[in-house]
Structure 1
């Protein structure tokens, strides 16, 4: 283990880790926004919306995230969509994880006892009000853990954007291996940094889970 090499390249890794965090946060925001819309469409009383929601989930869960990144970044210019690598990677990852998050949200909402909605309607709440004030607060407790698992998968999935030259952890590792010829040390540091990011996220998820549990 070449510790001197690790010390020399570590600043580059810290900068790359910051890029990984940024792309993860942006993709997560995109994913949660789209997931909420897809989950609502999947539970809609309109058949067209249910079909569109199901089609989105099927397409994005049924095709590799790497292909989706390539389609957006390399195929986008053919239809007038020109994106920088960072933007293309964040959007593609967000759209991909949205398909999984949508099912987590839908599952949590459906897990709430239907009697809660009926009780709310019986005291004068509209469907939207009952969903907002009665069902969703209860569903939120149930969706923290699955959404957390999706978020962890997203952080690890950011490695895919190295294929379109986003200078995150994996791309930085590949570049440094080419100049140092020390793959063991470089990939070991990369793995440790991913573990630190995932561990930090897992702690946050556990804290949120406990906070909601204490609220009852």
Structure 2
């Protein structure tokens, strides 16, 4: 919720900053829905655990189109739930050990080209602030800085030049630390492990341009 409020403030500032700019296409807002995936390349969850994503990815989008090629864009992304599941020793059934409900607020450059027929292929590159919202403390921190990247295709029908439809893939890549206290010969000691994760989504969104 705090990310949504921050996105609203930034949208207002964006409009105020560019309201007197010339030769630009305008401010836009939108919303989207898509799939959710959590990739763990360092096997943090190990072979005895599985990640089950539940729910959809939801996005709120606010940006400013500077010209045919470049836009500056902020997004709030809710990735739904990522349930980390293990196997019960009693009945050998899958149980949820803990879960994440990740949220991200990203700031990115959206670079592409708008053709006369309304099609615009594009790529996205920027930074994101990720809040894992863990059900119990596993990682050393709850918030991390990530890299936002992606690509997609946008279409603005000539007859409805205020509306646009977007189909895109976007991801947040980030490193997270786990701190674990292990028993030693003389005393316990702390071990810090660094893992990389990728939260990604294929989504469909609709935007309105002012």
> Fold match, TM over 0.5?
no
Structure having the larger proportion of residues in helix: 1
TM-score by length of 2: 0.29
TM score, norm. by length of structure 1: 0.28
- Structure possessing the higher relative contact order (Cα contacts under 8 Å, 6 or more residues apart): 1
